[in-house]
Structure 1
Amino acid sequence: MNGNESAPRDAAPRVVVGVDGSPSSGAALRWAVQQAGLIGGAVDAVSAWEPPVAYGWNAPVVDTSLDEENARRLFTDELREVLGEECPVQVHPRLVLGNPAAVLLDAAVGAELLVVGSRGRGGFARALLGSVSQQCALHATCPVVIVRAE
C-alpha cells in the first residue's frame, strides 16, 4: 500500500488519527489507540506537512529535503512520547506532503473512524474548533471524533 489507497475490506478495522504535535493531537492519538483496541483494529497515525515557501523576485523557492527530515523526526518523536515503547495496537505512521485537511480526508477513505484534535498548532487562540478539524467534520466519508486536550 503506497499511502494513498484504502485498506482491503478483509483487513482489520482502521482508525485514522491526525498527528501534528499539539496537545489535542496527543490526546487524539491516545483516544484513537484506545478505540482501535476496543474494535480489534489498527491505527493509521497520519501527519501532513507543507514546506515553507520563500518568495523571491521571480518565483517561489521551496527546499523540501530539510523540512521533510525535520517533519519526520518530530513526527517520530511525538509518536514515541505519546505511545511509549509498548503500544497495545498496531500503529502505522504515515507522513504525507500536503494540506493537512486534504491529507486526512484522503487517508480516512474506507476507515471506520477519523480522529482529530480540536485545535492544532496553528490558528487563533479564540477559535473554538480548528480549521482542519472543522473541514474533517464537514467532509469525511466516515464518522469523525474531535478530541480536546486534557
Structure 2
Amino acid sequence: MAEQEGALGQEGTRRVVVGIDGSASSRAAARWAIDYARLIGAVVEAVGVVEIPMNYGWSAPVVDTSLDEDTAKRGFRQELDSVLPAALAGGEPVEVRELLVRGNPAEALIEASRGAQVLVVGSRGHGTFARAMLGSVSQRCAQHAPCPVVIVRPE
C-alpha cells in the first residue's frame, strides 16, 4: 500500500485529487475529475481508502487486517477498471495515478489534497444514512480541505 507522504506529487505538477469508493457518486466524481484535468492540463490522483475499524479503538474480535486490505485493493482496482476506460475515452489522454491508503476516508482525502488544484468527491458514499443529501466524508472535506472542493452528485 502506498504511504500518504508520497501522495503529494512533484512540485509544479497540477493535480486533481478524486476519492474513489465504488459508489455511484464516486464514479460520477471520477468522470468529472478526468474532464476537469483535461481542461487544466493536470494529473488525476485517484485515492481509495481502506478503513479498518480497530484503528479507531472500536471493540471487535482480532482479525487479520491483511485480508481487509487485499479485498480493498481488489475492489479499488476493479472500480478503477470499470470507471477509467469510459471516462478516458474520446478525449486528450490524462495521466491517472492510483493511490490506496489506510485510514479515515475524510482525513486521507484532505491530506492527499494538499497542494492540489481541486479535491473532487461524490456527494454520498456507502454510508448507512441513506436519505442524507451530503455524506459525512464529503461534508468534512468541504469544511477542511486546503484546496477548493467539488462535490458531484450521481448521474
TM-score by length of 2: 0.87
* Distance in 2, Cα, partners of 1:107 & 1:86: 22
Unpaired runs of at least 5, structure 2: none
Q: How many aligned residue pairs are there?
A: 146
TM-score by length of 1: 0.89
Residue 115 of structure 2 aligns with an amino acid whose one-letter code is G
Moved over 3 A (4+): 52-56
1:100 matched to 2:105: yes
1:44 matched to 2:45: yes
Q: In the superposition, relative to structure 1, how do residues 86 and 128 fare at CA in structure 2: closer, same or farther (>3 Å)? A: closer
Residue 46 of structure 2 aligns with an amino acid whose one-letter code is A
Residue 109 of structure 1 aligns with an amino acid whose one-letter code is R
Task: Show the 5 A alignment for 1:1-150.
Answer: 2-5=3-6, 6-11=8-13, 13-53=14-54, 55=59, 61-84=62-85, 87=88, 88-150=93-155
| 8 A contact 1:52–1:62 mirrored in 2 | no
Task: Report the alpha carbon displacement of residue 83 of structure 1 after superposing the two structures with TM.
Answer: 1.1
Task: Report the alpha carbon displacement of residue 85 of structure 1 after superposing the two structures with TM.
Answer: 7.6
* Distance in 2, Cα, partners of 1:16 & 1:68: 21
* Distance in 2, Cα, partners of 1:47 & 1:111: 16
* Distance in 2, Cα, partners of 1:120 & 1:66: 22
| 8 A contact 2:3–2:101 mirrored in 1 | no
Residue 22 of structure 1 aligns with an amino acid whose one-letter code is S
Task: Report the alpha carbon displacement of residue 9 of structure 1 after superposing the two structures with TM.
Answer: 2.6
RMSD (Å), alpha carbons: 1.9
* Distance in 2, Cα, partners of 1:92 & 1:30: 14
Percent identity for Structure 1 against Structure 2: 57
- More helix per residue: 2
| 8 A contact 1:51–1:62 mirrored in 2 | no
